[in-house]
Each structure stands twice: as C-alpha cells, then as structure tokens.
C-alpha cells in the first residue's frame, strides 16, 4: 500500500504548493525559473526565491534524516558525469524556456500551448530513451 500512497501524497503536495504559489503571490513554480531569477537579480522583492530554494534543500535534508529508508538507492557514476549531466539539463531548460516542473505541472494546468508541446516532447524523448536503453 505504501507504494501507492507515497507517490499520491507527493503529487498532491506538489499540486497544492504550485496552486498556493500561483494564487498566493502570482508566481509559477518552475524550479529553473526560480533558480535563474535568484542568480540574476538582487532585489528584496525576490527574497521569496531564496526562501523557496532553501525550503527545497531543507525539505530534502529533513526527509533524509526522518526517512533514511527512502534514500537507499545508489548511482555509480563519476562526479564528472553528474556535472556534465547537470549542464546538459540546464541547457535543455534554457532551450525549452522552462523545466518539467514549470511546463508539466504549472503550464499544463493553465492549458498553455507552449507547455503542452514541451511536456509532450519531454515525455516522448523520455520514452525513447528508456526504449533505447532497454535494447542496449
């Protein structure tokens, strides 16, 4: 039963937080946009960006402390691989004018055509990647 409940709770919390963010301060919860904006601007009006990012980090650390069993997976790659992968993902979010959280969760909920196309593209290439990986 846990295998069903935890993803449902996580999805509900993501939807609730995105709705709260949009309704509360009128901002879209796209992580790449929030991170990029926090690096570009130095305005007291954008202090929410830093608190949002801090909340992501502290939330992850809190989960690690409270529920270490959720973090038993291992990735066996070098740090260089992680850095290159991160740069490629960062390039992709800039190229796509947003990340999966911004387009998939927030943009599609607003029925934004650009976000629907972007999310369909993310999903298609994800499926293609998994299919190719399965053949290798």
pLDDT in tens, 3-55: 788 888 888 888 888 888 888 888 888 888 888 888 876 766 778 888 889 99
**pLDDT level of residue 1 (50, 70, 90 thresholds):** low
**Tell me, what's the pLDDT at 131?**
92
**pLDDT surpasses 90 at 61:** yes
Q: Is the pTM of this model over 0.75?
A: no
93-112: pLDDT as tens digits: 888 788 877 888 888 888 88
SS3 per residue for the chain? CHHHHHHHHHHHHHHHHHHHHHHHHCCCCCHHHHHHHHHHCCCHHHHHHHHHHHHHHHHHHHHHHHCHHHHCCCCCCCHHHHHHHHHHHHHHHHHCCCCHHHHHHHHHHCCCHHHHHHHHHHHHHHHHHHHHHHHC
Determine whether 52 is exposed, middle or buried from the number of CB atoms within 10 Å of its CB (0-12, 13-18, 19+).
middle
Question: Is pLDDT at 73 greater than 90 in this prediction?
Answer: no
pLDDT of residue 90: 83
Span of 58-62, 77-81, 96-100 with lowest mean pLDDT: 96-100
């Amino acid at each position: 039963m846990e295998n069903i409940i935890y993803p449902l709770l996580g999805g509900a919390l993501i939807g609730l937080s995105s709705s709260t963010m949009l309704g509360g301060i009128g901002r879209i919860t796209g992580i790449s946009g929030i991170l990029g904006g926090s690096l570009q601007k130095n305005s007291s009006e954008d202090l929410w960006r830093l608190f949002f990012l801090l909340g992501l980090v502290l939330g992850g650390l809190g989960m690690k402390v409270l529920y270490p069993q959720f973090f038993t997976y291992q990735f066996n790659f070098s740090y260089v691989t992680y850095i290159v992968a991160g740069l490629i993902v960062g390039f992709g979010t800039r190229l796509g004018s947003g990340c999966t959280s911004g387009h998939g969760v927030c943009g599609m909920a607003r029925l934004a055509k650009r976000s629907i196309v972007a999310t369909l593209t993310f999903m298609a290439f994800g499926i293609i990647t998994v299919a190719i990986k399965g053949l290798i």
